[in-house]
Every structure is written in structure tokens, then in C-alpha cells.
Amino acid sequence: MDKVMSNKKIIALYVLPALLLIMAIVYIPIVLTAYYGLNQWNGIGRMKFIGLDNYAALLTDGTFWKSAWHSLLLAVFSCASLIIYLAVAMVLATRIKGANLFRKIYLIPMLLSSVAIAQLWLRIYHPTNGIVNSVLESIGVANPPAWLSEPKLVLFALFIPILWQYAGFYILIYYAALKNIPASLEEAAKIDGASALQIAWKIKLPLAMEVIKVTVVLAVVGSLKYFDLIYVMTDGGPNGSSEVMASYMYHTAFRAYDFGYGSATGFFLLVICLIVTWVIRKITAAKETIQYS
């Protein structure tokens, strides 16, 4: 087998199918999207080349920047919630009773489809019959807000199910990372008299750092291009107060029949994601990798 793998032609052959597929499904559409963004096109008729007009318009489009701000807020909240997930994972990774059960409980939301989650939370938030408002009324709140139609509240009301949805995913990643830390290190620290907090701070956290960096990128990029729950639950409304970049792209392309502008938005979204990823990698670039063994 070594002989086979050292043959350059064979390597090319192995890589080729996946490469072709990824080209056809990912990279060519990206190039096409960038190109469509240069056109005035309703998605049906003939395209008209208008150069960078769409991109220029996008830069001064207040609605777009408002939705970009919403996406950014989501990214910030996602990153903040990572701390909680990490803490939960640390607790689960110690040998406490029922850790296995809790791990499964946290993971279940991830197994539900987004639409099911959306339907569930729509009912939870229902202004008159929803559980949230029923509870609030029963404890004496006279006029609880209609969560999903209050422009000031809707975005934060949406963040809760979005963060809840991914909790299990990140907890699972952290759990695996923490389980990977050799038990001998922890034991050695214990013998030296380190407290649980010290072990977590000085040993577990540094050793899980690489994984944490990856999850930060995942959380930020995932938030920036987030779409599904928002689309089902509020459709960006009311009055665009829960519009994010991806839903704005969808609305311009499929509702307003402005495929050129929608494509430009999509391409811009990609550029923003790339820049943000690059910046995060730059900031978190390890000066030195910590090795304890």
C-alpha cells in the first residue's frame, strides 16, 4: 500500500473525484454568484451587465447593514455562550453521576430539524397561549410582551432557541476534547495539591485551546450565515427587526425577484465570513503550542 500511495498519479486519482465534486458544487457556484452580482437580473429573463452597481448599492444599503448588525450580534452571543458550554462540558467530563445521561439530554436539540424547533418555539412564544406568557401571567405580570412581534425584543427572543439548538453540538466537541487530556496530568496535579479550579484553568483550558479556537470560528461563521430558524419563525419581521444577512439575501432574490442584487449580497456575505475567519485566526494564532507530556 505504501508503494501505491507514493505514486503521484495514484494520489491525483484519489483526490480527483472529491475535487471535481467540490469544484462543481462549491467553487463554481461561488464564481457564478459573484458574476450574477454584476448583473441586473430578475432570475427569469435576460441578464444585463451593470458592473459593480449592485455592490456599490449594497455598501450604502441601510437595510443590509442593519441585518449585518443583527448577524454580528448573533455571533457575539454565540461566542459568549461558548463559555457556558465549556463549563458544562468540564463538569460532564469529570466523573460525576449521570454525566452520560446529561450528555444525551444536551445533544437532543441538535437531532431535531430546525423547522421542528421553530414550530416548537413559535408555540412557546405565542402571545396568548404560549407557555412563556402563561407562566408570566400566572405570576402576576399584567401584560406580558408579544415576544415575536415586538421590534425591540424579537431578535433576542430568537437568539434563545438558536443558541439552545447548538448547545449540544459544542458541548459534545468540548467533552471529546477534555476527555482526550491524559488522566495522568490531572492526577499529577492533584498529587501536587492543585484545586479543581486550578486544574481547569491551568491544565484543561490550555490543552483544549486548539479545539476552542476552532469552535469560535465555527460559531462566528455559523452565526453570520444563519438563516433557518429566523426564516421560519419571523421571516425577518416585523419591519425587518430580525432580518439577518442570509434572510435579506433570500428576500431580495426570491421575493423581490432581484437575483443580481441577491447574488451580490450572497457574495458579500462570503467575503465578510472570510475576513472574519482570517481575523479570528490571526488574533488567536498560538505563540507557542502548549505541550505537557
Partner 1 sequence: MFSKKWNVLLLTMCLALFAAGCGKSDSGTGGSASKEGTSASEKVTIKFMHLWPEGVSAGQNKIVNQIINDYQKEHENVTIKQEVLDNEQYKNKLKVLSASNELPDVGVTWAAGFLKPYVEGNLFAPIDDLLGGELKDKFVAGTTEAYAVDDKTYALPLEFNIAPIYYNKAIFKKYNLEVPQTYEQFKGILKTLSDNGVAPIALGNKDRWTGSLWYMYLADRIAGQKTLADAIGGSGSFKDAGLVQAAKEVQSLVDSNAFVKGFNGLSNEEGKAEFLNEKAAMYLMGTWELPNYTTNEEIPKEFRDNVGFFKFPTVEGGKGDINSWVGGPGVGLFVSQNSEVKEEAKAFVQYFVTKWGEQSVTGAGVIPATKVDTSALDLPPLYIDLFNEMNKASSITLFADVQMPANAAETHLNMIQALFGKAVSPEKFSEEHDKAIAKGN
Interacting residues with partner 1 (CB under 8 A): 3-4, 7, 9-10, 13-14, 16-17, 42-46, 122, 125-128, 146-151, 154, 234-235, 237-240, 251, 254-259
40 bridge partner residues: 48
CB of 120 to partner 1, least distance (A): 14
The CA-atom distances, in angstroms, between 199 and each of 14, 127, 172, 264 are 44, 46, 20, 49
- CB of 151 or CB of 182, closer to partner 1: 151
CB of 286 to partner 1, least distance (A): 39
- CB of 17 or CB of 98, closer to partner 1: 17
| DSSP reduced 3-state for 39 | strand
Q: Are 71 and 224 in contact (CB under 8 A)?
A: yes
Q: Is 225 exposed, middle or buried (0-12, 13-18, 19+ CB in 10 A)?
A: middle
- CB of 122 or CB of 217, closer to partner 1: 122
What is the b/e burial string over 144-171, where b = at least 16 CB atoms within 10 angstroms of the residue's CB? bbbbbbeeebbbebbbebbbbbbbbbbb
CB of 77 to partner 1, least distance (A): 20
Q: Are 252 and 258 in contact (CB under 8 A)?
A: yes
- CB of 13 or CB of 31, closer to partner 1: 13
CB of 97 to partner 1, least distance (A): 42
Q: Which of 70, 126, 58 is nearest to 247 (CA)?
A: 70
CB of 214 to partner 1, least distance (A): 32
- CB of 132 or CB of 216, closer to partner 1: 132
